[in-house]
Amino acid sequence: MKKSTRRVLAALMTAAMAFSMTACTTASKPSGGDASGSGSAAGGETKDIKDIVVGLSIGNTTEERWNREIEMFEAYAKDKGFELKVQNANNDANKQVSQCENLINQGVDVMIVQSLDAEAAGPIVDAAHDAGIKVIAYDRFIMNTDLDYYITFDSYKVGQVEAQFVVDAAPKGNYIWLKGAPEDNNAHLVAKGQEDVLKPYIDSGDINIVLDQWCKGWDPNEALKHAENGLTVAKNDVQGVIASNDGTCGGAVQALAAQGLAGKVPICGQDADLAACQRIVEGTQTGTVYKPLAPLNQAAMELAVAIATGADPMSGVDSSLGTWQKLNNNFKDVDSFTVDVEAVNKDNIYEIIVKRDGFHSLEDVYANVPKDQWPAE
């Protein structure tokens, strides 16, 4: 959506909520945005945590992690005693905008938005600001708008780790490069991280990219199709596959398996989805980039609560969870909190995923592996 669309939406929202917008003062928060805090927190007023309402907009739940994260958000809200209103756009960017309008009309104090489309979500921020509501972009950046805060993983590092997994295993040969969703800014950051690892090998002639494609919507079926095309172009002479998440990795593994190459060609993803963890211990996926959801989720909720209650936002987030920095969304430098990621492979998957974090159970991860090959607990 372009700026003209945003102005129309902002005007409509202003008219619809004029009765509730009396006086908005500029909040002295570190976000640097023009929007005031929630009505209760504006001008230095405070609000009891049990009286706040947090709006949560999730773009889709097709990936395993998002259902898990919604449960974590809900558990946090229940434990702290405040109301959480959740909306799921089911992979429809226009629906996400209208759902967020609904949250605004319901009078939420702050909004957490996991956007489907980095550009199309801009009007959500505009409309929220017109109502005096701050917006936290969660996991995925919202571009070209006066965004207040961003909570995320280091997507550039994710891409570096993914590519390093593969080049360590196959420093020479033909590669298939499957990038993420072109509409997701994170996918571009991941691709940049991958590129910076691959470039010296490409420049030297050691690695030849036989196919380079984006996978719209992070769709595994798109990855399957592209991987099949790459294998056809290279006549199955492929030494490495760069995938961008565990879903697209799964699609590529399916294509490799059809040619008898699964487990013979290194490939990596991100998210530590259960299916990916199973592939790792089975030997058909080289590794995954584990993004611990608990600290990311906690940071977002702590920030939301601080904003809604009138506390200092950045001080409200436990500094042990990650690092504050400025990230530019092509409109401004946005106060952003980043959580680190970890490389997981067959050697450390039990210690990190099962034993340390309990992200998946031993029985689930090793379900397809003979029991005598399970790690000793």
Question: 260 and 313 share a domain?
Answer: no
Count of structural domains within the chain: 2
Residues 138 and 163 grouped into a single domain = no
Longest dimension (CA), the chain: 69
* pTM for this predicted structure: 0.79
CA 154 to each of CA 149, 163, 317: distance values in angstroms, whole numbers, following the listed order: 15, 15, 17
Asked if 39 contacts 310 with a C-beta cutoff of 8 angstroms, the reply is no
Separation of alpha carbons 165 and 266, rounded Å: 8
Give the chain's count of helices (H) and strands (E). 12, 13
User: What's the sign of the alpha-carbon dihedral 260, 266, 271, 274?
Assistant: positive
Asked if 266 and 283 sit in the same domain, the reply is yes
pLDDT tens readout for residues 56-106: 999 988 777 889 999 999 999 999 999 999 999 998 999 999 999 999 999
Strands 240-242 and 207-214: unpaired
Element (H, E) at 330: none
174 shares its domain with 243? yes
Q: How many CB atoms lie within 10 A of CB 323?
A: 11
118 and 204 part of one domain: no
Q: What is the CATH number of the domain that holds 112?
A: 3.40.50.2300
pLDDT reading at 282 higher than 60: yes
Amino acid at 57: S
Same domain, yes or no: 189 and 262: yes
d(CA 135, CA 320): 23
Same domain, 188 and 303: no
Question: Helix 3-16 vs helix 93-105: angle between axes, to the nearest 10 degrees?
Answer: 30
pLDDT tens, residue by residue, 290-315: 999 999 999 999 999 999 999 999 99
Q: What is the DSSP string of 65-78?
A: HHHHHHHHHHHHHH
Average pLDDT over residues 206-227: 97
Q: At what angle do helices 93-105 and 122-130 cross, to 10 degrees?
A: 10
Residue 287's domain comprises: 156-291+347-373
* Residues 248 and 359 occupy one common structural domain: yes
Q: Which two tokens stand for residue 218?
A: 């992070």
